[in-house]
């Protein structure tokens, strides 16, 4: 595996871990949350620098359904990332404590909540659109090629996703995404590992969704290309 590919994978893993910790907010502490947010933004910039070839070609070539979906997803993630960073700076109590939002505190708090929870969901879907390299590696293993290997490979993410639906509802993530609730509730007596397990299951839910919707769009694009070739012939 090329060094560049390894670095990309490590950066993506780092972003995923930090994203999970950021969602724990009060459980990891506000000061840690701010520094984790800065680390996330730094890795986000590095991620795009490593994938600059994709960015350079954004206005080149034909757009399939999958490419359109992927591009719109990246744009929305960029918006949520900028929203999180700008509102985070305005609300900072430690790293940027010298910045005061004035009378806009409530507005920035709402922007931060919307950006954080929509960003979490959109980034999870984005992971699902890019798991092709990982799945290709898994398919080369001996375990995958055993009788039960393929069943486990498909079944485990689906089972976790089923619990993810429950966790999505239980953790009120859907309410935070639409500002139905303006305050995030944390159980300070709950072990961090249980909180992370629930959010991980929600991440798997949307990653699985992103993976299968990507496969569906790619299949539709291939069918369209084949039908166009038949029509021309």
How do residues 3-19 score in pLDDT, each as one tens digit? 877 888 899 999 999 99
* Mean pLDDT across 91-109: 87
The structure tokens listed for 90 are 């305005």
Axis-axis angle for helices 65-91, 192-232 (nearest 10): 150
Mean pLDDT of the chain: 89
The domain total for the chain is: 1
Q: Please tell me which residue, 169 or 134, carries the higher pLDDT value.
A: 169
Is residue 119 one of the residues assigned to a domain?
yes
Place of tokens 């069918």: 223
In a domain, 161, yes or no: yes
20 is a domain residue: no
pLDDT band of residue 144 (cuts 50, 70, 90) is low
**Residue 42 belongs to some domain of the structure:** no
In a domain, 174, yes or no: yes
Per-residue pLDDT at 223: 75
Report pTM: 0.90
DSSP code at position 105: H
Which residues span the domain enclosing 193?
63-231
Q: Let me know if residue 111 belongs to a domain.
A: yes
pLDDT at 86: 95
Name the more confident of 151 and 68: 68
With respect to residue 155, please indicate whether it lies within any of the assigned structural domains. Answer: yes
DSSP category for residue 97: T
Q: Residues 144, 138: contact at Cβ < 8 Å? A: yes
Domain presence at residue 43: no
């Amino acid at each position: 595996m090329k060094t560049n590919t390894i670095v990309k994978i490590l950066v993506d893993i780092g972003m995923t871990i930090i994203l999970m910790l950021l969602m724990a907010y009060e459980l990891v502490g506000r000061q840690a949350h701010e520094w984790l947010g800065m680390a996330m933004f730094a890795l986000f910039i590095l991620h795009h620098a490593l994938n600059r070839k994709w960015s350079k070609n954004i206005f080149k070539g034909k757009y399939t359904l999958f490419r359109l979906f992927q591009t719109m997803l990246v744009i929305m993630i960029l918006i949520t990332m900028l929203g999180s960073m700008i509102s985070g700076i305005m609300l900072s109590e430690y790293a940027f404590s010298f910045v005061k939002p004035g009378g806009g505190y409530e507005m920035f708090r709402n922007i931060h909540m919307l950006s954080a929870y929509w960003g979490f969901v959109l980034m999870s879907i984005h992971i699902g659109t890019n798991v092709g390299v990982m799945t290709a590696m898994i398919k080369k293993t001996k375990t995958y090629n055993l009788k039960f290997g393929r069943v486990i490979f498909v079944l485990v993410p689906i089972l976790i996703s089923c619990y993810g639906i429950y966790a999505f509802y239980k953790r009120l993530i859907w309410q935070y995404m639409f500002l139905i609730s303006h305050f995030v509730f944390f159980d300070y007596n709950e072990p961090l590992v249980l909180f992370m397990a629930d959010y991980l299951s929600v991440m798997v839910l949307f990653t699985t969704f992103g993976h299968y919707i990507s496969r569906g769009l790619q299949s539709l694009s291939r069918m369209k290309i084949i039908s166009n070739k038949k029509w021309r012939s």
